[in-house]
Structure 1
Amino acid sequence: MSRLSKKMVQSFFVLFSTLFLFMNIGIVHSKNFYRVPYSFLTSPLVKLSATKYPSE
């Protein structure tokens, strides 16, 4: 049961982070066009977590 819930949480997190990433790419795309390929070159998820969660 714990394994199943863990897998569910993991899949939900992947889905949410993907949607969140696409949303942020849209925002960055409209504001700073040159940053989009740069974000893809560097790890976008690491950048996201660094921007959205500075405490961690």
Structure 2
Amino acid sequence: MKSRNINIYKVPTPNIETPEVGFFGRNELPPISTARVTEEQIQKFFDYLELIPEVTQFD
């Protein structure tokens, strides 16, 4: 599998599928749709950011 180099510093751009985009800090999250992801999962991802590259998340 070829790895993808993702630029996390790129400015997000709104489009037809995602009219509003942005980055949020751990304590700045707006209300979310919990049908796709739970707040607990998002908080866990913030925890993982502190551990990178030691942890890989699979679904």
- Tell me the TM-score normalised to structure 1 length: 0.34
Higher helix proportion, which one?
1
- Tell me the TM-score normalised to structure 2 length: 0.32
